[in-house]
Structure 1
Amino acid sequence: MPSTEGPHGTGKRARRPDLRAARAALPEPVRKLIDDYERHLSLERGLSAHTVRAYVGDVVSLLGFVDGNGGRFEDLDIGTLRGWLARQREEGASRTTLARRAAAARTFTAWAHRGGALASDPGGRLVAPRAHRKLPGVLRAEQASDVMRFSAAGAEQRDPVALRDSAIVELLYATGVRVSELCGLDVGDVDFSRRVVLVLGKGGKERVVPFGVPAETALRAWLDEGRGKLAVETKEPGKAALFLGARGGRLDPRAARRIVHDAVGSVPGANDMGPHGLRHSAATHLLEGGADLRSVQELLGHATLATTQLYTHVTVDRLKAIHDRAHPRAR
């Protein structure tokens, strides 16, 4: 599907090229370089498959631009990098997209320079527009409670799928884990004695995240009464996925997103959201309840505190809205 993002809200559509065909059309030495870079990102840096695809896609776009303009990779310079970004801006890429692609280009040229493929590193001089930091939509605390009650009510008949869905929604909101982290959990990652779950996050980093009594109740019900009815023989020796799909295999993130959308959609007035929205909501409610930023950073698995600080803006905006509604001298 084509992107609907437009620069500065213009609504222009940016075409999404066929990157597989573009990669195949590049000269053989350049394709080999991209293959080496992809292995570096995946094996040496341990990035997720999704992140690797995004980085490699941006590099294919850049090198396709170079090749299409009769240039050579070895001659890549700051002017070419700026021209590549300018072309994308003309085609409708948003500020956020431009910022991400500039970062991808800088990472690639630094790697190519270290390995001797480039005589210098032109990416070090590349500056892109700052990405707009959008405030995430979140549920109010009472709406989150309603979502949990709806899911629990659906599980009262002890249907295995309903038990699973209730446990998924509870655990996502209780822990704030990413949907990929949730789907990667094994049964052995849950420690009921301490009421924590061991999560494998971005870059292969592990962290321990606590969960509360409602999530424990939902998880136990799923494991005791639901999981065995969906499970099939696993192809992963020693690995028993915590959450299963309808056919018994490990739950797919797309199915988890649908589950959350359906659960949130049952609450009148709630913003439509998926697992990432529950993650935003969990972080916001933690801060509103008095949690400190460092603790929330650790729980969410953010690499930098700056990412977690975005949620302070959410809580301030919510307090401002409450003040505007409730204080007699607000207006």
Structure 2
Amino acid sequence: MADHLAAFARHLLLERGRSEHTVRAYLGDLRSLLAHAGEPADLGALTLPVLRAWLAEQARSGVARTTLARRTAAVRTFTAWARRTGRTETDTGARLVAPRAHRTLPAVLRPEQAAIALGAAAAGAAQLDPVALRDHLVVELLYATGIRVGELCALDVDDVDHGRRVVRLLGKGGRERTVPYGVPAERALRQWLAHGRPVLEGENSGAALLLGARGGRLDPRAARRTVHETVASAPGAPDLGPHGLRHSAATHLLEGGADLRVVQELLGHATLSTTQLYTHVTVERLRAVHDRAHPRA
């Protein structure tokens, strides 16, 4: 069974282009299933009743619907691969139905709250402290581009095109894309490269654009902490991390008149349906304003 899991992991990484995070999550789901099935020696023991009983047990234990949906996807992907590679005679997971996840509207900043938070970060960087300069760049780039925190921390110095004001990055599924950023982010970037990065740079820095206090590539956890602290400076703002800034950037783009497919390309969404979630945010906000302002609402 360990050989099957190792081969499946290679398939996900090399053939499907899944991230290491996704591979770890899928393997964890499969190990949970195997433990439920009594650690069988043969894949044939993973019958449809066994799969359904495992999911039912997960649901009873209070696992979130989104997690159940991911675990169902992991099993379906595994059994389809096992059938295709001749490891089983049938694809038992093909008839496994994933619970529909509740799609909640993400919390976002109002434009004026975003301006206050970014202004606070800029003020903190005014003394040219290298960590403050880096933190200012973190929030400016996240909000300006809408990229994921992992994509941000993976950027190298050469991924930035200053002349065109764009960054080139590798997103989910190995998909490459180019994302523009504005003048405030460019100012923060030039200050960081001139006064911040040279101070923190060390033997382990390599080509990384953003560095931690010890000179290595910035850890996403440090970037998350920076965003939480920066957003907290805006009165009335929800507690948001990097993904909240991503939601805010997408919402503000759409409210400013951006085309949905352009936003899809900027965010690196594989399907338009994922991007359409942000139209729900803007419609809800429009309805709230209408209810407050229209005399016959």
Q: TM-score, normalised by structure 1?
A: 0.87
Displacement of 1:233 in angstroms is 2.0
Can you list the C-alpha shifts for 1:205-262, whole angstroms capped at 9, x where unaligned? Answer: 1100000000000000000111100000237xxx410000000000000000000000
What is the rounded CA distance, in whole Å, between the counterparts of 1:281 and 1:311 in structure 2?
9
Instruction: Give the 5 Å matches for 1:250-289.
Output: 250-289=217-256
3-state SS of the aligned residue for 2:179? strand
2:259 match: 292
CA contact (8 A) 1:66 1:72 kept: no
Instruction: Give the 5 Å matches for 1:185-200.
Output: 185-200=155-170
Q: In structure 2, what residue type is equivalent to 1:143? A: Q
3-state SS of the aligned residue for 2:87? coil
Q: In structure 2, what residue type is equivalent to 1:31? A: A
**Does residue 179 in structure 1 map to residue 146 in structure 2?**
no
What is the rounded CA distance, in whole Å, between the counterparts of 2:32 and 2:64 in structure 1?
16
Displacement of 1:187 in angstroms is 0.5
Can you list the C-alpha shifts for 1:5-30, whole angstroms capped at 9, x where unaligned? Answer: xxxxxxxxxxxxxxxxxxxxxxxxx1
3-state SS of the aligned residue for 2:147? coil
Displacement of 1:41 in angstroms is 1.2
**Does residue 91 in structure 1 map to residue 46 in structure 2?**
no
2:281 match: 314
Can you list the C-alpha shifts for 1:169-204, whole angstroms capped at 9, x where unaligned? Answer: 000000000000000000100101000000110122
1:36 match: 7
3-state SS of the aligned residue for 2:37? helix
What is the rounded CA distance, in whole Å, between the counterparts of 1:170 and 1:96 in structure 2?
30
Can you list the C-alpha shifts for 1:11-56, whole angstroms capped at 9, x where unaligned? Answer: xxxxxxxxxxxxxxxxxxx111111111211222221111111111
Q: 1:240 aligns with which of 207, 218, 233?
A: 207
Q: In structure 2, what residue type is equivalent to 1:106? A: R
CA contact (8 A) 1:200 1:206 kept: yes
**Does residue 54 in structure 1 map to residue 29 in structure 2?**
no
Can you list the C-alpha shifts for 1:270-303, whole angstroms capped at 9, x where unaligned? Answer: 0001100000000000000011111000000001
Can you list the C-alpha shifts for 1:111-135, whole angstroms capped at 9, x where unaligned? Answer: 1111111110011111122001111
1:133 match: 103
**Does residue 159 in structure 1 map to residue 129 in structure 2?**
yes
What is the rounded CA distance, in whole Å, between the counterparts of 1:94 and 1:185 in structure 2?
33
Give me the CA root mean square deviation. 1.2
What is the rounded CA distance, in whole Å, between the counterparts of 1:280 and 1:94 in structure 2?
21
Using the aligned pairs only, state the percent identity: 67
Higher RCO (Cα < 8 Å, 6 or more apart)? 2
CA contact (8 A) 1:63 1:73 kept: no
Q: In structure 2, what residue type is equivalent to 1:39? A: R
What is the rounded CA distance, in whole Å, between the counterparts of 1:48 and 1:127 in structure 2?
24
Unaligned runs of 5+ in 1: 1-29
Q: 2:199 aligns with which of 226, 229, 235?
A: 229
Displacement of 1:71 in angstroms is 8.1
1:16 match: none
What is the rounded CA distance, in whole Å, between the counterparts of 2:104 and 2:88 in structure 1?
36
Range with bigger deviation, 58-67 or 165-174: 58-67
3-state SS of the aligned residue for 1:208? strand
Q: 2:77 aligns with which of 91, 107, 116?
A: 107
Unaligned runs of 5+ in 2: none
3-state SS of the aligned residue for 1:248? coil
What is the rounded CA distance, in whole Å, between the counterparts of 1:203 and 1:127 in structure 2?
24
What is the rounded CA distance, in whole Å, between the counterparts of 2:281 and 2:135 in structure 1?
28
Instruction: Give the 5 Å matches for 1:116-131.
Output: 116-131=86-101
CA contact (8 A) 1:190 1:196 kept: yes
Q: TM-score, normalised by structure 2?
A: 0.97
3-state SS of the aligned residue for 1:67? coil
3-state SS of the aligned residue for 2:276? helix
Q: In structure 2, what residue type is equivalent to 1:38? A: A
